Amino acid sequence: EAGVVQSPRYKIIEKKQPVAFWCNPISGHNTLYWYLQNLGQGPELLIRYENEEAVDDSQLPKDRFSAERLKGVDSTLKIQPAELGDSAVYLCASSSNTGTDSNYGYTFGSGTRLTVV
Amino acid sequence: AQSVTQLGSHVSVSEGALVLLRCNYSSSVPPYLFWYVQYPNQGLQLLLKYTSAATLVKGINGFEAEFKKSETSFHLTKPSAHMSDAAEYFCAVSRYSSASKIIFGSGTRLSIRP
């Protein structure tokens, strides 16, 4: 099993430019999360999807951030335009709320490290 | 509301010594508690979880944590540190065991001295 796959791993862009991140969750995981991790801090939830529906996007800065999860599988997170303060690691995670999972089922990807210059 | 506080942003121990990483939680409902480890430039890996069963939870890589309701604590320990344990450790809390928002602490960086 490939786990949660994110791309790109690293991205450097100039401020005011757009950027997009992609996440492919574990097969069968209906719940998908995007977290923001600033340097030296713990991750903070940006948005949570149940299948294709965004059920918690209260922490997503909607003026510049957007996300979608078409067909309830892959997801993209977009920033337009990017600001210097957006430099961080963007983590995707997925989980399943059906059946049992001895490992809790909440699995993180390796993240995308964004640098805005 | 739920939150976790990790005491000490950086802990340094000698190889072979006891590892103790402290975590206190705040929750208005019975919590689910977790410890995650993050190696440089990698995602988070689950070390162990408390889901209201046994209060002493054993995880991977020889780590364990004890849920103490009276102290609202969930400290992480390992009897003997290994060089490969050097990483960032995050304590986290959730309302449910799955499909829910996880709230993370600010992390503790563990360094191991030869």
> pLDDT digit string (tens) for A79-97?
999 999 999 999 999 987 6
Per-residue pLDDT band at B5 (split at 50, 70, 90): very high
Per-residue pLDDT band at A102 (split at 50, 70, 90): very low
**Tens digits of residue pLDDT in B54-95:** 899 999 999 999 999 999 999 999 999 999 999 999 999 987
Nearest-Cα distance to chain A for B90, in Å, is: 7
| CA distance linking residue B6 with residue A88, whole number of Å | 21
Contact A97/B102, CB-based, under 8 Å?
no
Q: Which residue of A has its CA nearest to B34?
A: A104
pLDDT value of residue A15: 96
- Residue given tokens 């309302």 in the structure block: B95
Between A30, A50, A109, which is nearest B43 by CB? A109
Q: Where are the alpha helices (DSSP H) in A28-83?
A: none
**Tens digits of residue pLDDT in A18-36:** 999 999 999 888 899 999 9
**Tens digits of residue pLDDT in A30-85:** 899 999 999 989 999 999 999 999 999 999 999 999 999 988 899 999 999 999 99
Per-residue pLDDT band at B30 (split at 50, 70, 90): confident
Between B43, B49, B101, which is nearest A108 by CB? B43
Q: Beta strands A112-116 and A10-13: pairing type? A: parallel
| Cβ of residue B80 closer than 8 Å to a chain A Cβ | no
Whether A101 shows a pLDDT value over 60: the answer reads no
Burial of residue A54 (number of CB atoms within 10 Å: 0-12, 13-18, 19+): middle
pLDDT value of residue A97: 66
How many helices and strands (H and E) does chain B possess? Answer: 0, 11
